[in-house]
Structure 1
Amino acid sequence: MAPYQVMVAPNGARRQKNDHPALPLTEAELARVAQRCQVAGATALHLHVRDDQGRHSLDAGRYRGALAAVAETAPGMAVQITTESAGIYTPDDQFACLQALCPSAASISIREMAQAPEVAARVYAHCAEAGTEVQHILYGPGCLAQLEIWYDTGVVAATMRDAIFVLGQYVPPVLARPDAVTGVAVDAAALNLSWSLCAFGRAEQACLLAAIAAGGNVRVGFENNIETPDGRVLADNAASVAALIKAASAAGHTLQRSPA
Protein backbone atom coordinates (compact mmCIF):
# COMPACT_ATOMS: atom_id res chain seq x y z
CA MET A 1 0.00 0.00 0.00
CA ALA A 2 1.24 3.50 -0.85
CA PRO A 3 2.37 5.75 2.02
CA TYR A 4 -0.34 8.03 3.36
CA GLN A 5 -0.17 11.82 3.75
CA VAL A 6 -1.34 13.98 6.63
CA MET A 7 -2.78 17.46 6.25
CA VAL A 8 -3.50 19.46 9.40
CA ALA A 9 -6.54 21.74 9.76
CA PRO A 10 -5.65 23.69 12.92
CA ASN A 11 -8.58 26.06 13.38
CA GLY A 12 -11.44 25.97 10.88
CA ALA A 13 -14.05 28.70 10.57
CA ARG A 14 -15.97 28.40 13.83
CA ARG A 15 -14.03 27.41 16.94
CA GLN A 16 -12.65 30.10 19.24
CA LYS A 17 -10.15 30.39 22.09
CA ASN A 18 -12.89 29.50 24.56
CA ASP A 19 -13.16 26.13 22.81
CA HIS A 20 -9.42 25.54 23.22
CA PRO A 21 -6.74 28.06 24.28
CA ALA A 22 -4.25 26.59 21.77
CA LEU A 23 -6.53 27.23 18.80
CA PRO A 24 -4.54 29.45 16.41
CA LEU A 25 -6.29 32.59 15.21
CA THR A 26 -3.57 35.10 14.40
CA GLU A 27 -0.94 35.03 11.68
CA ALA A 28 1.82 34.44 14.22
CA GLU A 29 -0.09 31.65 15.93
CA LEU A 30 -0.77 29.92 12.61
CA ALA A 31 2.91 30.11 11.72
CA ARG A 32 3.95 28.53 15.03
CA VAL A 33 1.36 25.78 14.73
CA ALA A 34 2.43 25.02 11.17
CA GLN A 35 6.04 24.62 12.32
CA ARG A 36 5.11 22.28 15.20
CA CYS A 37 2.80 20.20 13.04
CA GLN A 38 5.40 19.88 10.31
CA VAL A 39 7.88 18.56 12.86
CA ALA A 40 5.20 16.12 14.06
CA GLY A 41 4.81 14.78 10.52
CA ALA A 42 2.14 16.81 8.73
CA THR A 43 3.07 17.54 5.13
CA ALA A 44 0.37 20.10 4.39
CA LEU A 45 -1.70 22.80 6.09
CA HIS A 46 -5.37 23.58 5.48
CA LEU A 47 -5.44 27.33 6.09
CA HIS A 48 -8.27 29.43 7.50
CA VAL A 49 -7.68 33.08 8.42
CA ARG A 50 -9.68 35.20 10.85
CA ASP A 51 -10.47 38.90 11.15
CA ASP A 52 -9.56 41.10 14.14
CA GLN A 53 -12.59 39.79 16.03
CA GLY A 54 -11.66 36.17 15.36
CA ARG A 55 -14.33 35.64 12.74
CA HIS A 56 -13.88 33.57 9.58
CA SER A 57 -12.43 35.61 6.73
CA LEU A 58 -11.64 35.26 3.04
CA ASP A 59 -9.65 38.47 2.97
CA ALA A 60 -6.84 38.15 0.42
CA GLY A 61 -4.50 40.39 2.39
CA ARG A 62 -4.84 38.27 5.51
CA TYR A 63 -4.22 35.17 3.44
CA ARG A 64 -1.07 36.67 1.92
CA GLY A 65 0.26 37.51 5.36
CA ALA A 66 -0.46 34.07 6.77
CA LEU A 67 0.99 32.31 3.72
CA ALA A 68 4.21 34.29 4.03
CA ALA A 69 4.46 33.60 7.76
CA VAL A 70 3.93 29.86 7.32
CA ALA A 71 6.47 29.74 4.49
CA GLU A 72 9.03 31.24 6.87
CA THR A 73 8.43 28.96 9.85
CA ALA A 74 7.57 25.74 7.98
CA PRO A 75 9.52 25.83 4.70
CA GLY A 76 8.47 23.15 2.25
CA MET A 77 5.08 22.62 3.88
CA ALA A 78 2.30 22.65 1.30
CA VAL A 79 -0.50 25.10 2.08
CA GLN A 80 -4.09 24.86 0.89
CA ILE A 81 -6.39 27.82 1.46
CA THR A 82 -10.07 27.32 2.16
CA THR A 83 -12.87 29.07 0.29
CA GLU A 84 -15.45 27.92 2.82
CA SER A 85 -18.43 30.23 3.06
CA ALA A 86 -19.28 29.40 6.71
CA GLY A 87 -22.68 30.94 6.02
CA ILE A 88 -21.04 34.35 5.48
CA TYR A 89 -19.73 34.46 1.92
CA THR A 90 -21.37 33.97 -1.47
CA PRO A 91 -19.92 32.07 -4.45
CA ASP A 92 -19.04 35.47 -5.94
CA ASP A 93 -17.04 36.31 -2.79
CA GLN A 94 -15.30 32.95 -2.96
CA PHE A 95 -14.45 33.51 -6.62
CA ALA A 96 -13.06 36.97 -5.81
CA CYS A 97 -10.76 35.45 -3.20
CA LEU A 98 -9.43 32.89 -5.68
CA GLN A 99 -8.92 35.57 -8.33
CA ALA A 100 -7.01 37.81 -5.92
CA LEU A 101 -4.72 35.06 -4.65
CA CYS A 102 -4.36 32.47 -7.44
CA PRO A 103 -3.19 30.08 -4.70
CA SER A 104 -1.26 26.90 -5.36
CA ALA A 105 -4.05 24.88 -3.71
CA ALA A 106 -7.60 25.53 -2.50
CA SER A 107 -10.48 23.52 -1.10
CA ILE A 108 -13.82 24.30 -2.76
CA SER A 109 -17.20 22.99 -1.63
CA ILE A 110 -19.30 21.40 -4.36
CA ARG A 111 -22.40 22.11 -2.27
CA GLU A 112 -21.60 25.81 -1.99
CA MET A 113 -20.65 26.24 -5.65
CA ALA A 114 -23.89 24.54 -6.69
CA GLN A 115 -25.78 27.53 -5.27
CA ALA A 116 -24.58 29.55 -8.28
CA PRO A 117 -23.79 27.22 -11.21
CA GLU A 118 -22.80 30.10 -13.49
CA VAL A 119 -20.21 31.24 -10.96
CA ALA A 120 -19.04 27.67 -10.43
CA ALA A 121 -18.12 27.33 -14.09
CA ARG A 122 -15.96 30.46 -13.86
CA VAL A 123 -14.38 29.32 -10.60
CA TYR A 124 -13.20 25.98 -11.94
CA ALA A 125 -12.06 27.49 -15.24
CA HIS A 126 -10.06 30.12 -13.38
CA CYS A 127 -8.42 27.51 -11.16
CA ALA A 128 -7.50 25.41 -14.18
CA GLU A 129 -5.92 28.42 -15.88
CA ALA A 130 -4.13 29.61 -12.72
CA GLY A 131 -2.80 26.15 -11.89
CA THR A 132 -4.62 26.03 -8.55
CA GLU A 133 -4.91 22.47 -7.27
CA VAL A 134 -8.58 22.12 -6.36
CA GLN A 135 -9.71 19.77 -3.62
CA HIS A 136 -13.46 19.18 -3.87
CA ILE A 137 -15.23 19.17 -0.50
CA LEU A 138 -17.83 16.39 -0.46
CA TYR A 139 -20.45 16.24 2.29
CA GLY A 140 -22.61 13.42 0.96
CA PRO A 141 -24.31 11.74 -2.01
CA GLY A 142 -25.69 15.01 -3.37
CA CYS A 143 -22.20 16.45 -3.68
CA LEU A 144 -20.97 13.33 -5.44
CA ALA A 145 -23.86 13.41 -7.88
CA GLN A 146 -23.24 17.09 -8.66
CA LEU A 147 -19.53 16.52 -9.17
CA GLU A 148 -20.25 13.66 -11.58
CA ILE A 149 -22.60 15.91 -13.57
CA TRP A 150 -19.96 18.63 -13.71
CA TYR A 151 -17.36 16.16 -14.95
CA ASP A 152 -19.78 14.98 -17.64
CA THR A 153 -20.67 18.51 -18.74
CA GLY A 154 -17.11 19.87 -18.57
CA VAL A 155 -17.77 22.40 -15.80
CA VAL A 156 -15.05 20.67 -13.79
CA ALA A 157 -11.97 19.53 -15.69
CA ALA A 158 -11.54 15.78 -15.84
CA THR A 159 -8.07 16.21 -14.31
CA MET A 160 -9.44 17.77 -11.11
CA ARG A 161 -9.80 14.49 -9.20
CA ASP A 162 -8.69 15.49 -5.71
CA ALA A 163 -11.44 15.37 -3.09
CA ILE A 164 -11.97 15.34 0.65
CA PHE A 165 -14.92 13.50 2.18
CA VAL A 166 -16.35 15.01 5.36
CA LEU A 167 -17.84 12.72 8.01
CA GLY A 168 -20.06 14.46 10.54
CA GLN A 169 -20.82 18.17 10.96
CA TYR A 170 -21.02 21.06 13.41
CA VAL A 171 -24.69 22.05 13.09
CA PRO A 172 -26.73 20.14 14.00
CA PRO A 173 -23.99 18.15 15.75
CA VAL A 174 -23.29 14.86 13.99
CA LEU A 175 -20.30 12.78 15.11
CA ALA A 176 -18.35 10.77 12.56
CA ARG A 177 -18.46 6.97 12.56
CA PRO A 178 -15.66 4.71 11.27
CA ASP A 179 -18.11 2.32 9.64
CA ALA A 180 -18.93 5.01 7.07
CA VAL A 181 -15.42 4.87 5.60
CA THR A 182 -16.08 1.75 3.54
CA GLY A 183 -18.75 3.58 1.57
CA VAL A 184 -16.46 6.56 1.10
CA ALA A 185 -13.78 4.36 -0.46
CA VAL A 186 -16.34 2.85 -2.83
CA ASP A 187 -17.62 6.30 -3.86
CA ALA A 188 -14.09 7.56 -4.41
CA ALA A 189 -13.24 4.61 -6.64
CA ALA A 190 -16.43 5.08 -8.67
CA LEU A 191 -15.31 8.59 -9.70
CA ASN A 192 -11.60 7.75 -9.82
CA LEU A 193 -10.86 10.29 -7.09
CA SER A 194 -7.63 10.83 -5.20
CA TRP A 195 -9.26 11.15 -1.83
CA SER A 196 -8.76 12.27 1.73
CA LEU A 197 -10.99 12.12 4.79
CA CYS A 198 -11.73 14.39 7.74
CA ALA A 199 -14.02 13.49 10.62
CA PHE A 200 -15.87 15.32 13.40
CA GLY A 201 -15.68 14.25 17.02
CA ARG A 202 -13.63 11.97 19.23
CA ALA A 203 -13.89 9.08 16.76
CA GLU A 204 -11.76 11.20 14.40
CA GLN A 205 -8.67 9.04 14.83
CA ALA A 206 -10.56 5.77 14.28
CA CYS A 207 -12.13 7.19 11.11
CA LEU A 208 -8.80 8.41 9.79
CA LEU A 209 -7.11 5.08 10.49
CA ALA A 210 -9.88 3.36 8.56
CA ALA A 211 -9.34 5.78 5.68
CA ILE A 212 -5.60 5.09 5.63
CA ALA A 213 -6.28 1.35 5.60
CA ALA A 214 -8.64 1.88 2.65
CA GLY A 215 -6.00 3.76 0.65
CA GLY A 216 -6.96 7.36 1.43
CA ASN A 217 -5.07 10.31 2.83
CA VAL A 218 -6.20 12.16 5.94
CA ARG A 219 -6.79 15.60 7.42
CA VAL A 220 -6.56 15.96 11.19
CA GLY A 221 -6.76 18.87 13.59
CA PHE A 222 -8.78 21.21 15.75
CA GLU A 223 -11.11 22.23 12.92
CA ASN A 224 -12.91 18.93 13.43
CA ASN A 225 -11.90 17.58 16.82
CA ILE A 226 -10.09 18.58 20.03
CA GLU A 227 -10.38 15.29 21.95
CA THR A 228 -8.46 12.06 22.27
CA PRO A 229 -10.35 8.82 21.53
CA ASP A 230 -11.05 8.40 25.27
CA GLY A 231 -12.44 11.92 25.66
CA ARG A 232 -9.45 13.82 27.08
CA VAL A 233 -8.67 17.23 25.63
CA LEU A 234 -5.68 17.25 23.26
CA ALA A 235 -2.82 19.59 24.18
CA ASP A 236 -2.58 21.16 20.73
CA ASN A 237 -2.71 20.43 17.01
CA ALA A 238 0.80 18.94 16.97
CA ALA A 239 -0.29 16.43 19.62
CA SER A 240 -3.25 15.49 17.42
CA VAL A 241 -0.95 14.94 14.42
CA ALA A 242 1.57 12.96 16.45
CA ALA A 243 -1.05 10.72 18.05
CA LEU A 244 -2.55 9.84 14.67
CA ILE A 245 0.83 9.05 13.13
CA LYS A 246 1.80 6.91 16.12
CA ALA A 247 -1.44 4.93 15.85
CA ALA A 248 -1.06 4.51 12.09
CA SER A 249 2.53 3.33 12.52
CA ALA A 250 1.39 0.78 15.10
CA ALA A 251 -1.12 -0.47 12.52
CA GLY A 252 1.67 -0.95 9.98
CA HIS A 253 1.10 2.10 7.78
CA THR A 254 3.90 4.21 6.33
CA LEU A 255 3.82 7.99 6.52
CA GLN A 256 4.86 10.04 3.50
CA ARG A 257 6.95 12.89 4.85
CA SER A 258 7.95 16.12 3.14
CA PRO A 259 11.20 16.03 1.16
CA ALA A 260 14.20 17.12 3.21
Structure 2
Amino acid sequence: MNDEPLILTVAPNGAYKSTTDHAALPITPAALAATARACLDAGAAMLHLHVRLPDGRHSLRADDYRAAQAAIRAAVGPSLVIQVTTEAAGVYEPAEQVAVVYDLQPEAVSVSLRELLRPGLSEAELSRFFGWLVQTQTMTQVILYDAAEVAQWNQLRARGVIPEGRWFLLFVLGRYAAGQTSSPTDLLPFLQTWDGCHPWAMCAFGAQEHRCAMAALALGGHVRVGFENNLWRRDGSLAPDNSSLVRQVAESAALAGRPLASAAQVRERFQFG
Protein backbone atom coordinates (compact mmCIF):
# COMPACT_ATOMS: atom_id res chain seq x y z
CA MET A 1 0.00 0.00 0.00
CA ASN A 2 1.28 3.46 -0.90
CA ASP A 3 1.28 5.66 2.19
CA GLU A 4 2.78 8.79 0.61
CA PRO A 5 0.43 11.65 1.52
CA LEU A 6 -2.12 12.19 -1.22
CA ILE A 7 -1.93 15.60 -2.88
CA LEU A 8 -5.57 16.46 -3.41
CA THR A 9 -6.06 19.38 -5.79
CA VAL A 10 -9.28 21.16 -6.68
CA ALA A 11 -9.84 22.68 -10.13
CA PRO A 12 -12.95 24.72 -9.38
CA ASN A 13 -13.85 26.41 -12.67
CA GLY A 14 -11.61 25.92 -15.73
CA ALA A 15 -11.53 28.08 -18.84
CA TYR A 16 -14.85 27.20 -20.43
CA LYS A 17 -17.71 26.62 -18.00
CA SER A 18 -19.99 29.36 -16.71
CA THR A 19 -22.71 29.69 -14.10
CA THR A 20 -25.17 28.46 -16.74
CA ASP A 21 -23.42 25.08 -16.39
CA HIS A 22 -23.64 25.20 -12.59
CA ALA A 23 -24.85 28.01 -10.36
CA ALA A 24 -22.05 27.38 -7.87
CA LEU A 25 -19.22 27.66 -10.40
CA PRO A 26 -16.83 30.23 -8.90
CA ILE A 27 -15.78 32.99 -11.29
CA THR A 28 -15.08 36.13 -9.27
CA PRO A 29 -12.23 36.54 -6.77
CA ALA A 30 -14.74 36.53 -3.91
CA ALA A 31 -16.37 33.32 -5.12
CA LEU A 32 -12.98 31.69 -5.64
CA ALA A 33 -11.96 32.65 -2.12
CA ALA A 34 -15.10 31.10 -0.64
CA THR A 35 -14.54 27.95 -2.69
CA ALA A 36 -10.92 27.79 -1.57
CA ARG A 37 -11.97 27.91 2.08
CA ALA A 38 -14.59 25.19 1.64
CA CYS A 39 -12.23 22.94 -0.34
CA LEU A 40 -9.44 23.39 2.19
CA ASP A 41 -11.83 22.29 4.92
CA ALA A 42 -12.81 19.28 2.78
CA GLY A 43 -9.20 18.10 2.38
CA ALA A 44 -7.62 19.94 -0.56
CA ALA A 45 -3.98 21.04 -0.37
CA MET A 46 -3.79 22.84 -3.73
CA LEU A 47 -6.11 24.96 -5.87
CA HIS A 48 -5.70 25.02 -9.65
CA LEU A 49 -6.59 28.59 -10.50
CA HIS A 50 -8.26 29.93 -13.63
CA VAL A 51 -9.31 33.57 -13.79
CA ARG A 52 -11.69 35.42 -16.05
CA LEU A 53 -12.11 38.74 -17.78
CA PRO A 54 -15.03 40.94 -16.65
CA ASP A 55 -17.18 39.44 -19.42
CA GLY A 56 -16.46 35.91 -18.16
CA ARG A 57 -13.97 34.87 -20.83
CA HIS A 58 -10.73 33.06 -19.97
CA SER A 59 -7.89 35.35 -18.91
CA LEU A 60 -4.15 35.08 -18.52
CA ARG A 61 -3.79 38.71 -17.44
CA ALA A 62 -1.45 39.04 -14.48
CA ASP A 63 -3.67 41.61 -12.77
CA ASP A 64 -6.64 39.23 -12.88
CA TYR A 65 -4.49 36.57 -11.26
CA ARG A 66 -3.25 38.97 -8.60
CA ALA A 67 -6.78 39.95 -7.61
CA ALA A 68 -7.86 36.32 -7.27
CA GLN A 69 -4.71 35.31 -5.41
CA ALA A 70 -5.12 38.17 -2.93
CA ALA A 71 -8.73 37.16 -2.20
CA ILE A 72 -7.81 33.50 -1.75
CA ARG A 73 -4.87 34.30 0.51
CA ALA A 74 -7.12 36.50 2.65
CA ALA A 75 -9.48 33.54 3.03
CA VAL A 76 -7.02 30.68 3.65
CA GLY A 77 -3.60 32.20 4.30
CA PRO A 78 -0.80 29.81 3.32
CA SER A 79 -2.93 26.71 3.95
CA LEU A 80 -3.50 26.09 0.22
CA VAL A 81 -0.94 26.03 -2.56
CA ILE A 82 -2.24 28.29 -5.33
CA GLN A 83 -1.35 26.86 -8.74
CA VAL A 84 -1.95 29.24 -11.65
CA THR A 85 -2.62 27.86 -15.10
CA THR A 86 -1.07 28.88 -18.41
CA GLU A 87 -3.86 27.25 -20.44
CA ALA A 88 -4.21 28.83 -23.86
CA ALA A 89 -7.91 27.94 -24.32
CA GLY A 90 -7.53 28.77 -27.99
CA VAL A 91 -6.84 32.41 -27.14
CA TYR A 92 -3.23 32.81 -26.05
CA GLU A 93 0.04 32.07 -27.84
CA PRO A 94 2.99 30.28 -26.21
CA ALA A 95 4.97 33.49 -25.74
CA GLU A 96 2.03 35.03 -23.86
CA GLN A 97 1.64 31.92 -21.72
CA VAL A 98 5.29 32.07 -20.71
CA ALA A 99 5.26 35.84 -20.22
CA VAL A 100 2.53 35.75 -17.58
CA VAL A 101 4.56 33.29 -15.51
CA TYR A 102 7.65 35.49 -15.67
CA ASP A 103 5.47 38.44 -14.62
CA LEU A 104 3.59 36.72 -11.79
CA GLN A 105 6.42 34.60 -10.38
CA PRO A 106 3.81 32.30 -8.78
CA GLU A 107 4.51 29.69 -6.15
CA ALA A 108 3.06 27.00 -8.42
CA VAL A 109 2.08 26.74 -12.08
CA SER A 110 0.69 24.20 -14.52
CA VAL A 111 1.96 24.12 -18.10
CA SER A 112 0.79 22.03 -21.03
CA LEU A 113 3.66 20.52 -22.99
CA ARG A 114 1.40 20.33 -26.05
CA GLU A 115 0.58 24.03 -25.91
CA LEU A 116 4.18 25.18 -25.48
CA LEU A 117 5.61 22.98 -28.24
CA ARG A 118 4.14 25.15 -30.96
CA PRO A 119 5.49 27.72 -33.43
CA GLY A 120 6.24 30.96 -31.65
CA LEU A 121 8.36 29.44 -28.89
CA SER A 122 11.72 28.05 -29.90
CA GLU A 123 13.27 25.02 -28.25
CA ALA A 124 15.90 27.32 -26.75
CA GLU A 125 13.18 29.53 -25.25
CA LEU A 126 11.39 26.46 -23.94
CA SER A 127 14.59 25.29 -22.29
CA ARG A 128 15.20 28.73 -20.81
CA PHE A 129 11.68 28.81 -19.39
CA PHE A 130 11.97 25.42 -17.71
CA GLY A 131 15.42 26.35 -16.44
CA TRP A 132 13.96 29.51 -14.91
CA LEU A 133 11.24 27.46 -13.20
CA VAL A 134 13.94 25.31 -11.61
CA GLN A 135 16.07 28.29 -10.59
CA THR A 136 13.14 30.14 -9.02
CA GLN A 137 11.90 26.96 -7.28
CA THR A 138 8.49 27.32 -8.86
CA MET A 139 6.45 24.18 -8.30
CA THR A 140 5.62 23.08 -11.84
CA GLN A 141 3.02 20.58 -12.96
CA VAL A 142 3.44 19.41 -16.54
CA ILE A 143 0.17 18.51 -18.25
CA LEU A 144 0.30 15.48 -20.55
CA TYR A 145 -2.68 14.31 -22.61
CA ASP A 146 -1.60 10.88 -23.82
CA ALA A 147 1.20 8.33 -23.74
CA ALA A 148 2.86 9.89 -26.78
CA GLU A 149 3.26 13.12 -24.86
CA VAL A 150 4.70 11.24 -21.89
CA ALA A 151 7.30 9.76 -24.27
CA GLN A 152 7.97 13.21 -25.72
CA TRP A 153 8.51 14.58 -22.21
CA ASN A 154 10.97 11.76 -21.51
CA GLN A 155 12.85 12.53 -24.73
CA LEU A 156 13.10 16.27 -24.03
CA ARG A 157 14.60 15.49 -20.65
CA ALA A 158 16.99 12.92 -22.10
CA ARG A 159 18.20 15.51 -24.64
CA GLY A 160 18.71 18.13 -21.93
CA VAL A 161 16.08 20.52 -23.32
CA ILE A 162 14.19 20.10 -20.07
CA PRO A 163 16.61 20.33 -17.13
CA GLU A 164 16.34 18.08 -14.14
CA GLY A 165 13.89 19.41 -11.59
CA ARG A 166 11.21 18.43 -9.15
CA TRP A 167 8.53 18.18 -11.80
CA PHE A 168 4.98 17.04 -11.05
CA LEU A 169 3.15 15.35 -13.93
CA LEU A 170 -0.58 15.51 -14.62
CA PHE A 171 -2.10 12.73 -16.72
CA VAL A 172 -5.30 13.96 -18.35
CA LEU A 173 -7.83 11.19 -18.94
CA GLY A 174 -10.04 12.26 -21.82
CA ARG A 175 -10.68 15.53 -23.64
CA TYR A 176 -12.91 18.57 -23.58
CA ALA A 177 -15.77 17.16 -25.64
CA ALA A 178 -19.52 16.90 -25.28
CA GLY A 179 -20.40 13.76 -23.37
CA GLN A 180 -16.78 12.87 -22.59
CA THR A 181 -16.56 10.27 -19.82
CA SER A 182 -13.15 9.07 -18.72
CA SER A 183 -12.45 5.57 -17.44
CA PRO A 184 -9.94 4.28 -14.87
CA THR A 185 -8.38 2.11 -17.58
CA ASP A 186 -7.39 5.33 -19.38
CA LEU A 187 -4.55 5.56 -16.86
CA LEU A 188 -2.80 2.43 -18.11
CA PRO A 189 -1.10 3.81 -21.26
CA PHE A 190 0.28 6.71 -19.23
CA LEU A 191 1.76 4.44 -16.59
CA GLN A 192 3.22 2.09 -19.19
CA THR A 193 5.18 5.03 -20.68
CA TRP A 194 5.98 6.87 -17.44
CA ASP A 195 9.64 6.41 -16.45
CA GLY A 196 9.02 6.61 -12.71
CA CYS A 197 11.22 9.66 -12.23
CA HIS A 198 8.59 12.16 -11.13
CA PRO A 199 5.34 11.95 -9.15
CA TRP A 200 2.10 12.07 -11.06
CA ALA A 201 -1.51 13.03 -10.61
CA MET A 202 -4.57 12.53 -12.76
CA CYS A 203 -7.67 14.46 -13.70
CA ALA A 204 -10.66 12.96 -15.49
CA PHE A 205 -13.76 14.10 -17.33
CA GLY A 206 -17.32 13.20 -16.51
CA ALA A 207 -19.23 11.08 -14.07
CA GLN A 208 -16.48 8.49 -13.53
CA GLU A 209 -14.09 11.10 -12.15
CA HIS A 210 -14.26 9.58 -8.68
CA ARG A 211 -13.56 6.04 -9.94
CA CYS A 212 -10.54 7.37 -11.84
CA ALA A 213 -9.41 9.15 -8.68
CA MET A 214 -9.64 5.90 -6.72
CA ALA A 215 -7.52 4.12 -9.33
CA ALA A 216 -4.88 6.83 -9.04
CA LEU A 217 -5.00 6.65 -5.26
CA ALA A 218 -4.48 2.89 -5.30
CA LEU A 219 -1.64 3.09 -7.84
CA GLY A 220 0.34 5.66 -5.87
CA GLY A 221 -0.67 8.75 -7.82
CA HIS A 222 -2.26 11.99 -6.77
CA VAL A 223 -5.67 13.43 -7.63
CA ARG A 224 -7.24 16.55 -9.11
CA VAL A 225 -11.02 16.92 -9.08
CA GLY A 226 -13.47 19.75 -9.51
CA PHE A 227 -15.97 21.52 -11.70
CA GLU A 228 -13.38 22.22 -14.41
CA ASN A 229 -13.81 18.63 -15.65
CA ASN A 230 -16.80 17.17 -13.83
CA LEU A 231 -20.01 18.23 -12.06
CA TRP A 232 -21.18 14.83 -10.78
CA ARG A 233 -20.75 12.94 -7.54
CA ARG A 234 -19.92 9.23 -7.41
CA ASP A 235 -23.59 8.33 -6.80
CA GLY A 236 -24.63 10.06 -10.04
CA SER A 237 -26.13 13.11 -8.37
CA LEU A 238 -25.21 16.66 -9.33
CA ALA A 239 -22.53 17.92 -6.95
CA PRO A 240 -23.75 20.96 -4.97
CA ASP A 241 -20.29 22.53 -5.03
CA ASN A 242 -16.61 21.79 -5.56
CA SER A 243 -15.99 20.90 -1.94
CA SER A 244 -18.32 17.91 -2.19
CA LEU A 245 -16.10 16.41 -4.90
CA VAL A 246 -13.01 17.01 -2.78
CA ARG A 247 -14.65 15.56 0.33
CA GLN A 248 -15.66 12.27 -1.27
CA VAL A 249 -12.05 11.67 -2.41
CA ALA A 250 -10.79 12.54 1.07
CA GLU A 251 -13.26 10.08 2.59
CA SER A 252 -12.20 7.32 0.19
CA ALA A 253 -8.54 8.02 0.88
CA ALA A 254 -9.18 7.66 4.60
CA LEU A 255 -10.87 4.31 4.03
CA ALA A 256 -7.87 3.20 1.96
CA GLY A 257 -5.45 4.31 4.67
CA ARG A 258 -3.83 6.98 2.49
CA PRO A 259 -3.19 10.20 4.44
CA LEU A 260 -3.85 13.59 2.88
CA ALA A 261 -1.00 16.00 2.26
CA SER A 262 -1.13 19.49 3.70
CA ALA A 263 0.06 22.52 1.75
CA ALA A 264 3.15 22.59 3.97
CA GLN A 265 3.92 18.98 3.04
CA VAL A 266 3.45 19.78 -0.67
CA ARG A 267 5.92 22.65 -0.37
CA GLU A 268 8.39 20.42 1.41
CA ARG A 269 7.90 17.60 -1.12
CA PHE A 270 8.78 19.90 -4.03
CA GLN A 271 11.14 22.17 -2.10
CA PHE A 272 9.59 25.50 -2.94
CA GLY A 273 7.94 28.38 -1.13
Q: For residue 157 of structure 1, report the CA deviation from its aligned partner.
A: 1.3
Secondary structure of 1:52 counterpart: coil
One-letter amino acid of the structure 2 residue matched with residue 122 of structure 1? R
Q: Distance in 2 between matches of 1:183 and 1:252?
A: 26
- In structure 1, what is the Cα distance between the partners aligned to 2:27 and 2:101? 21
Report the counterpart of residue 142 of structure 1 in structure 2. Answer: 148
Count of aligned pairs: 259
Residues 1:129 and 2:131 aligned together: no
**What is the rounded CA distance, in whole Å, between the counterparts of 1:3 and 1:151 in structure 2?**
27
Distance in 1 (CA, whole Å) between partners of 2:240 and 2:164 is 41
SS of equivalent to 1:75: helix
1:52 paired residue number: 54
> What displacement does 1:172 show?
5.8
- List gaps (5 residues or longer) in structure 1: none
Name 2:243's counterpart in structure 1: 238
Q: Which residue of 1 aligns with 2:84?
A: 81
- Residues of 2 paired with 1:139 and 1:17: CA distance? 27
Letter in 2 for 1:102: Q
Q: Specify the SS of the correspondent of 2:111.
A: strand
Residues 1:211 and 2:235 aligned together? no
Q: Which of 37, 40, 43 lines up with 1:41 in the alignment?
A: 43
Residues 61-104 of structure 1 show CA distances to partners (whole Å, capped at 9, x for unaligned) of 01111111111101221111000001111001101101111111
Q: TM-score, normalised by structure 2?
A: 0.90
- CA drift of 1:50 comes to 0.5
Q: Which moved more, 1:115-124 or 1:200-209?
A: 115-124
CA–CA separation in structure 2 for the residues paired with 1:83 and 1:97: 8
Q: CA deviation at 1:145?
A: 2.2
Percent sequence identity over matched residues?
Answer: 39
Q: Distance in 2 between matches of 1:223 and 1:95?
A: 22
Tell me the distance in 1 between the aligned counterparts of 2:156 and 2:196: 12
Alignment of 1:147-226 (within 5 A): 147-171=153-177, 173-188=179-194, 190-226=195-231
Q: Deviations over 1:137-191 (max 9, x none)?
A: 0001231122112102222111243110000111365321012224433433x15
* 2:248 counterpart letter in structure 1: A
What is the TM-score normalised by the length of structure 1?
0.94
Q: Secondary structure at the match of 1:74?
A: helix
CA distance in 2, matches of 1:24, 1:56: 13
Partner AA of 1:158 in structure 2: E
- Assess if the C-alpha contact under 8 Å between 1:167 and 1:197 holds in 2: yes
Cα deviation per residue 1:44-68 (whole Å; 9 max; x = unaligned)?
A: 1100000101111000001111111
* 1:104-146 per-position Cα deviation (integer Å, ceiling 9, x unaligned): 1100001011113514223213322332221100001231122
Residues 44, 80 of structure 1: 8 Å contact kept: yes
Q: Give the CA RMSD over aligned residues.
A: 1.7
Q: Tell me, what secondary structure is at the counterpart of 2:13?
A: coil
